[in-house]
Amino acid sequence: MAKKRLTEEQPLQNNILITPESDTSLSPTRHTGLRIKKIPKASAGAPAVKASLYHSAKYLTPGNVGKIMFRLNQKGGVDCPGCAWPDPDDERSKLGEYCENGVKAIAEEAQKKSIGRDFFATHPVAELLSWSDFQLGKSGRLAEPLLLRDGTTHYEPISWDDAFQLIATELQRLKSPDEAVFYTSGRTSNEAAFLYQLFVRAFGTNNLPDCSNLCHEASGVAMRTTLGSGKGTVALSDFHEADLILCFGQNPGTNHPRMLSALEKCKKNGGKIIAVNPLVEPGLLRFDNPQTLKGILGSGTPLADLYLQVKINGDIALLKAILLLLLYAEKSNPGSAFDMDFVLHKTEGYEAFATELQSHDFNDLAEASGVTRADIKKAVAMIAKAKKIIVCWAMGLTQHFNGVNNVKEIINLLLAKGAIGKPGAGACPVRGHSNVQGDRTMGIWESPSPQFLDALEKTFGFTPPRHNGYSTVEAIQAMYEGKASVFFGLGGNFLSASPDTYRTAEALRRCSLTVHVSTKLNRSHLIHGRQALILPCLARTDRDIQKDGEQFVSTENSMAVVQMSKGVINPASKHLLSEPAIIARLAKTVLNGRFSIDWDGFYANYDNIRNTIERVIPGFENYNERVRKPGGFYLPNPPKDQIFPTDSGKAKFSVVPVPKTTIPDGHFIMMTIRSHDQFNTTIYGLDDRYRGVFNERRVLLINKKDMQALGFKAKQAVNLISEYNGTVRKAENFLLVPYNIPRQCTATYFPEANVLVALDAFDPESKTPASKMVFIRIEAVDTPKAGGSTRLT
């Protein structure tokens, strides 16, 4: 297959990094028939039930529907591979302890079709590149290991032993272990993640970038700095007790729908909710609980008592405006707004924080936030009155140049209110992938702590590398520059998840070998090194039979609960291996007897992995015993008990600047978002029901007045152009959708718009890409590339 390569001698054409040819191969630009409908006023309800039934019937066998759905998120059952929202500690609904998008996730990974040698013999890589991400994902479960040899056009079967030997040969010929990159997706189990990092460090590198680098890394950095721990400080039960919940930069109706039940309980117990988001999301307006008659009939629970429609990246200005008025209230009437006893005894840095805060003018802050002064004052009144406050946030806050500072300002508010370490209060980063937090706990991290490395060395007798490895953006740059030439991905869709799609593609193409452990086909398999391997693995819903019998794995949700997950259906193919088995067999082949590590024993019985984890990682004492108890167990979380493992033993206030956002003339701010038929880069369908967008993904949500000022109309085809550090990037053929979004702000779906996010545009502390803060120009398309209006199913 011919590939268009960028070279050091000719990196740009007409100062545009992207070309139409590469745009078509990396993100097909044809349209599928946009329909714009009325936006609903609530989430879930009967439409969610209907969608769940549709996806179950279309993609699952009838027998597997029953096997999975009655065990999904039940104690001792299958942990949903969708989001990381926790399960109730007490009784769980037998009717369905899952949501609509959980059903879609299951229908995706347990789909009844499978693909192997016949499929790939029929479809060359060049043809598959023209398919949409939706079509690729719905092709079926991968059935056997596959190899794309250098210079060939089709994937072909390869034995497991030959695949492991090929990888070993490529790794062993490297001049340095640091010339290999080992990426991890957040769906990987604790057991697989621990073995993976052990293998990689025994091989000799800390190049362990992961999906956290792309999403919530800013949360971890900010909370470790201020609280001494990178994890949230609340349990699910705290939501039921809260006086007030603030939701920043998140869309729970789509991204973590089971959160809506927790918000509903808060409201029924007398709590209040403030939503902060540039888009008015139905999932924050009203919840029609589909497990109640009232919800099915469409008269559910109102959620947001106050909706603050902030400008994109106006969050720090908004928080400072709120904190400034609270500070004035506290000064005039001590005890009326802040918890000064907590501030004096449990924190440090308050004086510097308060001094900097008073240097700002309230009116300037309000204008920068985009929220009216009247609404800010309403929020201040609600916050001042509340004693138990939870602040939730997601990637609307983290994927910015100032993502770490966004989270630090949230922590400032919680510390001032004394809302850390007591029932009904705390910090809640709402993480996406089901075990992304567990992966980090297991050591998937490019900058591990010395204590973790010391424990590895003591347990296994080898000296792990001590220098930091590559984060995700650093790994892409290293591959692009030829500093790394082997890429290994444990799960995920690296190409589509990463920023700067075209530079990421070229980085992968410059590798000698790219390897992906996957359950189904995605675009990363089609943008490859000189040789490419696809290693098909068991899904979480699959039964896992090893030498010592049937196995289970474990995961950690976003509230630090570790619980078991056990598959319930027969695997899609007899040629699949579990992730622990793949890693252990690969490690045995690559290391070839180096170090006294019982790789065979690890995958014969996962109890052996867990016994080793408890020797290395604090908090996992009696792991095998505790994880078998219904509901699992909580990991230690010192800030939840008002113990702050910082250098001073106190939580820290921060002084952060207000971002100075100057939008160039003729430009808009663009943020990337998910559609409702999507989880990360997995596309379940072509509809975004809660935003009234149907049968199309190449759309740009734009304020109606901005659209008219440009002389454009709804559904008009446009190109999106960004420029950063002298490089111009272009995404072609998007359709305009007028939407309730602040002026000069726009939104569009990823991964289609990731091409516009520069690789070097990231938060300097966390290296999280600034996917929510891209300046774009919008130009009309002279001749739209319409591809027909037939709906893809």
Residue 732 CB neighbour total at 10 angstroms:
20
In one letter, which amino acid is 449?
Answer: S
Residue 361 CB neighbour total at 10 angstroms:
11
Task: Give which of 692, 683, 793, 690 is closest to 749, Cα–Cα.
Answer: 683
Task: Give which of 624, 785, 634 is closest to 718, Cα–Cα.
Answer: 785
Q: How far apart are CA 541 and CA 535, in angstroms?
A: 18
H helices present in 251-306, as ranges: 252-255, 259-268, 293-296
Share of residues in the chain with pLDDT > 70 (%): 95
The set of residues, in sequence order, having a beta carbon less than 8 Å from that of 278 and lying 6+ positions away, is 309, 310, 311, 312, 370, 396, 671, 741, 742, 745, 747
Whether omega for the bond prior to residue 664 falls within 30 degrees of 0, making it cis, is no
State the Cα torsion 552-678-496-699 to the nearest 10°: 180
261 in Cβ contact with 102 (< 8 Å): no
For range 297-324, the mean pLDDT: 96
Pairing of the two strands 43-44 and 286-288: parallel
For range 233-249, the mean pLDDT: 96
In one letter, which amino acid is 123?
Answer: H
Residue 49 CB neighbour total at 10 angstroms:
17
Least confident stretch, 45-49, 290-294, 756-760: 290-294
For range 397-425, the mean pLDDT: 97
What per-residue confidence (pLDDT) applies to 34?
96
Residue 593 CB neighbour total at 10 angstroms:
7
Q: How far apart are CA 444 and CA 565, in angstroms?
A: 20
**Residue 88 above 50 pLDDT?**
yes
Residue 6 CB neighbour total at 10 angstroms:
21
288 in Cβ contact with 45 (< 8 Å): yes
H/E stretch holding 562 reads strand 561-565
Task: Report helix angle 100-109 to 45-59, nearest 10.
Answer: 10
Q: How far apart are CA 201 and CA 72, in angstroms?
A: 34
**Residue 21 above 90 pLDDT?**
no
Task: Give which of 22, 24, 36 is closest to 733, Cα–Cα.
Answer: 24
Mean pLDDT of the residues in the chain: 92
What per-residue confidence (pLDDT) applies to 775?
97
Task: Give which of 469, 466, 476 is closest to 445, Cα–Cα.
Answer: 469
Q: Which two tokens stand for residue 63?
A: 């027998």
**Residue 9 above 60 pLDDT?**
no
What per-residue confidence (pLDDT) applies to 4?
36
**DSSP type of residue 212:** G
In one letter, which amino acid is 482?
Answer: G
Whose structure tokens read 């040819």? 21
Task: Give which of 484, 500, 619 is closest to 556, Cα–Cα.
Answer: 619
Q: How far apart are CA 573 and CA 539, in angstroms?
A: 11
In one letter, which amino acid is 135?
Answer: Q
* Cα distance between the two ends of the chain: 28
In one letter, which amino acid is 612?
Answer: T
Q: How far apart are CA 791 and CA 793, in angstroms?
A: 6
Task: Quick: pLDDT tens for 27-61.
Answer: 788 899 999 999 999 999 999 999 999 999 999 99
**Residue 168 above 70 pLDDT?**
yes
For range 282-286, the mean pLDDT: 94
What per-residue confidence (pLDDT) applies to 25?
64
For range 199-224, the mean pLDDT: 96
Task: Quick: pLDDT tens for 481-515.
Answer: 999 999 999 999 999 999 999 999 999 999 999 99
Residue 45 has, within 13 A of its CA and on its CB side, a CA count of 20
Largest CA distance in the chain: 76
Q: What is the CATH number of domain 234-429?
A: 3.40.228.10
Q: Which residues pair with 489 in a beta bridge?
A: 183, 516
Least confident stretch, 4-18, 204-218, 237-251, 477-491: 4-18
Q: Which two tokens stand for residue 371?
A: 């929220």
Q: Which two tokens stand for residue 271?
A: 């709590």
Q: Which residues pair with 724 in a beta bridge?
A: 727
Pick one of 2.60.120.260, 2.40.40.20, 3.40.1050.10, 3.40.50.970 as the CATH number of 20-41+661-780.
2.40.40.20
Q: How far apart are CA 562 and CA 570, in angstroms?
A: 25
692 in Cβ contact with 37 (< 8 Å): yes
Q: How far apart are CA 457 and CA 462, in angstroms?
A: 5
Residue spans per domain, the chain? 20-41+661-780, 46-107, 114-215+438-577+604-630, 234-429
Residue 179 has, within 13 A of its CA and on its CB side, a CA count of 14
User: Rounded to 5 degrees, what are φ and ψ at 151?
Assistant: 85, 0
Q: How far apart are CA 645 and CA 47, in angstroms?
A: 46
Task: Report helix angle 45-59 to 62-69, nearest 10.
Answer: 130
What per-residue confidence (pLDDT) applies to 1?
36
**Residue 6 above 50 pLDDT?**
no
Q: Which two tokens stand for residue 156?
A: 């072909």
Task: Quick: pLDDT tens for 268-279.
Answer: 999 999 999 999
Residue 789 CB neighbour total at 10 angstroms:
12
What per-residue confidence (pLDDT) applies to 66?
86
H/E stretch holding 720 reads strand 717-724
What per-residue confidence (pLDDT) applies to 309?
98
In one letter, which amino acid is 99?
Answer: C
Which is more confident, 292 or 375? 375
What CATH architecture does domain 114-215+438-577+604-630 belong to? 3-Layer(aba) Sandwich (3.40)
